[in-house]
Amino acid sequence: QVQLLQSGAEVKKPGASVRVSCKASGYTFTRFAIHWVRHAPGQGLEWMGWIDGGYDNTRYSQNFQGRVTLTKDTSASTAYMELRSLTSGDTAVYYCATTGGRYYFGNWGQGTLVTVSS
Amino acid sequence: DIQMTQSPPSLSAFIGDRVTISCRASQTINSYLNWYQQKPGNAPKILIYGVSSLESGVPSRFSGSGSGTDFTLTISSLQPEDFAIYFCQQTYNFPWTFGQGTKVEIK
C-alpha cells in the first residue's frame, strides 16, 4: 500500500531554513505528484505547492513564492520541501500528500512538526 | 484564490445525533469538493470526494451533497469515533484551498 514517511521534528531559529523529506513507497514514484500542506496551530490547512513525480514541474502557492523550494530524488523515491527565512508564523505541522492521479489527497505522510523559536 | 467558508466553527452533539456541516466556496467549483476528518496527532483522512463519493472503507453514515458553491457533510448518527475536526477542500483551481475546519465535540 502507498506509504509516505516524513523526516523528524525540527526546531529552528528565526531567519533559518528547514528541509523536510518525504519518502514514498508502495507505488511508482514517477507516476504521481507530491503535494505539501501545512497546519499551523489554531489555523486551517494550507496548501503550499506540488512537485511532479516524473517531470521537473513544480507549482507553488503565492503565499510561499520565493521562500519555498520543492525538489525530489527520483532514485530514492523521496521528495523534499525547503522553507527559508523562517518566522514564528511558520511553526506548524508540515505534511506531504499524494492524490494518486485523482483530485483529492488519498495518502498523507505522518507530518513533521517544525517549531520556530528564538 | 477561492475562499472556502465552513460553518459552524464548532458544534456539540450527542451520540446518535444527526450532524450537518456546511461549506461555501467564493465561486463555483463544480464538483471538486472533498471532505476530510482529522483527529489529534494524525494526518487528515479523506472521507468524501467529488461532493458525494464515499472513500473506500468510510462508514455509510457519512454523506456529502451540494453543488456550485454550497456543500454539506452529513453524519447521520454520530458515533464516539466521529469526534474530530472536519475540513472541506476545493480542488477546482490552484491553489487548492481548505475551509477553516469544524470541530465536532461530545455533548
Asked if B101 lies within 8 A of A61 by C-beta distance, the reply is no
Cα–chain-centroid distance for residue A43?
A: 17
Nearest to A95 among B43, B49, B94 (CB): B43
Q: What tens digit of pLDDT does each residue of B24-61 get?
A: 999 999 999 999 999 999 999 999 999 999 999 999 99
Of A39, A37, A43, residue with least CA distance to A81: A37
Neighboring chain A residues of B89 at a CB cutoff of 8 Å: 45, 104-105
- Looking at the complex, report in whole angstroms how far the Cα of residue B47 sits from the nearest Cα belonging to chain A: 9
What is the DSSP code string of A48-117? EEEE-SSSS-EEE-TTTTTTEEEEEEGGGTEEEEEE-S--GGG-EEEEEEE-TTSSS--EE---EEEEE-
Region B64-89: what's the mean pLDDT?
97
Chain A residue at shortest CA distance from B6: A44
Q: What tens digit of pLDDT does each residue of A52-73 get?
A: 999 989 999 999 878 999 999 9
